[in-house]
């Protein structure tokens, strides 16, 4: 009775392997997302440093202007502030580009999660089918065994009846 072999056993094993592969892909993509988020944090820190530097130099320029410093020194500070502003723009672009990379990585994680859920659902359906199939096969085996027992019982009864008739 325990010698039932599910006909879709190999398919089920393949589906289980696919779920395991999808889990690996999801972990890899989550790892990549974390790396991209760390890069974003680093790029934002660099940008913030440049921004603070720009604000400090701007404050310094205002202080110099309020003290009536010479025009060449003020001009030199303005030129330097333009350079810092350009650097800030470059860093801001890096931040925006990295945010885009994080968005792409998050999208990849979401897709991998959906794929994993879909593959798990396939496995669940097959496992449910296997349980139903096994239950049905057991019922059929029980019916066959009952028939065999009935036939055996009937044969034994007829045999006893004939032996009683012969012995009389």
| pTM score | 0.72
Question: Would you say residue 1 lies in a domain?
Answer: no
Question: Would you say residue 100 lies in a domain?
Answer: yes
Question: Would you say residue 156 lies in a domain?
Answer: yes
144 token code pair: 């066959």
Query: 16-25, pLDDT tens digit by residue?
Result: 999 999 999 9
Q: How many domains does the chain have?
A: 1
In degrees to the nearest 10, what's the CA dihedral of 75, 80, 83, 84? -130
Helices (H), 4-70: 9-66
Look at residue 69 in the predicted model and tell me its pLDDT. 66
130: Cβ contacts below 8 Å, ≥ 6 apart: 6, 8, 12
How far apart, in whole angstroms, are the C-alpha atoms of residue 88 and residue 84?
A: 6
Positions in the chain whose pLDDT score sits under 50 = 1
Secondary structure of residue 119 in the 3-state scheme: helix
CATH (domain of 19): 1.10.287.1700
Look at residue 1 in the predicted model and tell me its pLDDT. 46
Look at residue 168 in the predicted model and tell me its pLDDT. 66
CB 60 within 8 A of CB 76: no
Look at residue 13 in the predicted model and tell me its pLDDT. 95
Question: Would you say residue 4 lies in a domain?
Answer: no
The DSSP symbol for 67 reads T
């Amino acid at each position: 009775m325990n010698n039932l072999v599910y006909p879709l056993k190999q398919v089920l094993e393949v589906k289980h392997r696919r779920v395991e592969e999808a889990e690996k892909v999801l972990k890899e993509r989550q790892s990549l997302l974390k790396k991209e988020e760390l890069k974003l944090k680093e790029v934002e820190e660099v940008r913030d440093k440049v921004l603070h530097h720009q604000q400090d130099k701007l404050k310094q320029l205002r202080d110099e202007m309020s003290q009536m410093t010479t025009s060449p020194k003020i001009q030199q500070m303005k030129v330097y502030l333009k350079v810092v502003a350009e650097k800030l723009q470059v860093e801001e672009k890096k931040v925006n580009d990295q945010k885009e990379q994080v968005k792409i990585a998050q999208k990849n994680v979401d897709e991998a999660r959906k794929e994993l859920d879909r593959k798990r659902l396939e496995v669940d359906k097959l496992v449910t089918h296997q349980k139903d199939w096994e239950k049905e096969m057991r019922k059929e085996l029980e019916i066959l065994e009952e028939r065999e027992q009935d036939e055996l019982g009937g044969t034994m009864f007829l045999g006893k009846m004939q032996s009683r008739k012969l012995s009389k």
